[in-house]
Amino acid sequence: MPDSGPLQSGMSSSRRKRTSALARSPENGNPGAMHRLASLLRSSPLRPPGRAAADLRYGLERTLHDGAVTEISALTLELGVISAATTDEDVRKRLADAQHHVTSILEALREVGSVIYPPVLATTGLGPGLHAVAEGRGLRLRLDLPGTELGAEARSRTGLLIADHLQTLRPGSVVRVRVRGRRLVRVRITDRQPGGGLPRERRAVLRCG
């Protein structure tokens, strides 16, 4: 039987290159998955998502999380268990390398999911969810929200509208968000990005219910 070592090595190298390209961060000059998606959002005007679009995005994020993300998480743990059980140092090193690359893929998928529909919006409420999104992006966010929690549809669509805009801003930006209304939700977003530029103001109105 012919030796398959060179072929396996080539395949491993190819997989590593694809994984590195997927998980690469914008700080090193090569945009990763999150940065590319943010660029797409940045090129679009401030548009409130419709109810169907919000529901679709929520469903896509849950499908991604419950499917690929969960299975890859289990694979990462399994690789760790196998690595701990082996006494062969060469095998252990190769397993650790594989686990590292699988973890990189997992983080990239989670980033994509958070852009599709930030999970914190569904689990923590509008205010805490948006603060979590802003913190993850390195933004300074000030929220002025209604005294009572919005209904489910208004909360979902308003949260997505604001989160989409936050994804377009550079770390260190200062953002102020004001939300008023319940069925007719009015949103005003003012942001100042690093570098001393003039503040920008965006407004949107969502008809909910």
The contacts of residue 43 (CB under 8 Å, 6+ apart) are none
Of 4-13, 19-28, 40-49, 88-97, minimum mean pLDDT range: 4-13
pTM: 0.72
- Quick one: residue 29, left, alpha or beta (phi over 0 = left, psi -120 to 50 = alpha)? left
For the chain, the domains span 9-116, 124-207
Burial class (CB in 10 A: 0-12, 13-18, 19+), 198: exposed
The reported pLDDT for the residue numbered 123 is 87
Q: Cα-Cα-Cα-Cα dihedral of 21, 103, 108, 170, to 10°?
A: -90
Q: How far is CA 132 from CA 25, 53, 125, 140, 171, in A?
A: 20, 22, 11, 11, 14
Q: For residue range 166-196, what is the model confidence (pLDDT) as tens digits?
A: 999 999 999 999 999 988 999 999 999 888 7
> What pLDDT, on a 0 to 100 scale, did the predictor assign at position 47?
82
Lowest average pLDDT, out of 4-8, 61-65, 105-109, 162-166, goes to: 4-8
Q: Give residue-wise pLDDT tens across range 120-171.
A: 998 888 999 999 999 999 999 999 999 888 999 999 999 999 999 999 999 9
Q: Is the pLDDT confidence value at 63 over 60?
A: yes
Residue 11 clears pLDDT 50, i.e. is over it: no
- Indicate the residue type of 193: Q
Please provide the average confidence, as pLDDT, over all residues in the chain.
82
CATH 1.10.357.140 fits 124-207, yes or no: no
DSSP for 91-146 reads HHHHHHHHHHHHHHHHHHHHHHHHHHS-HHHHHH-HHHHHHHHHHHHT-EEEEE--
Regarding predicted confidence, which is higher, 73 or 43?
Answer: 73
